[in-house]
Amino acid sequence: MQKASFAGGCFWCMVSPFEEQPGIHGIISGYMGGTLENPTYEQVLTGETGHLEVVQITFDPDIFPYEKLLELYWPQIDPTDATGQGNDRKSQYRAAILYHNEEQRELAVKSKEELVKSGRFDQPIVTEIREASVFYPAEEYHQNFHRKNPKHYKESRVYSGRDAIIEKYWKSF
């Protein structure tokens, strides 16, 4: 098993695209990259801790290779937005691929280069690729939020602009 970590706006919206894929053994919403140990959602929500909202995925690379995770990741975000995603504008909503080893780093860089070459976007691709750091799981009520609170989740997807981003940039993907 390996770990993969992705930031792409609100972590609630980043779980479902990955969860029912073969070889995915778990997805945890949490925080990564900040300076505060054991941050709470309320602290991260201020945008002042330096953390990103991330999903950490446990996967079997023999069944679902990292490249496939990257293929699923890109269409969940606007990779040209360096300050958040959709209506989620604080620093914790920035998009990033957080690699756990050198192979993941190389594959992430390659996939970003391929996206740039595709010509799909008019603006530069600014999604960060950086080394994973300490991961702090989010509070239990954030885990599998889309299942626990489906109505609120759907409303959040609309409000955040997530579905509009997917429609605008990735419909034909």
Q: Report the catalytic residues.
A: 10
What's phi and psi for 38, nearest 5 deg?
50, 55
Tally Cβ neighbours within 10 Å of residue 128: 15
Runs of H (alpha helix) within the chain: 12-19, 41-45, 66-73, 102-118, 145-148, 150-160, 162-165
Sign of the four-CA dihedral 171, 32, 100, 62: negative
Between CA 83 and CA 166 the distance in angstroms is: 17
Q: Is 127 helix (H, G, I), strand (E, B) or coil?
A: coil
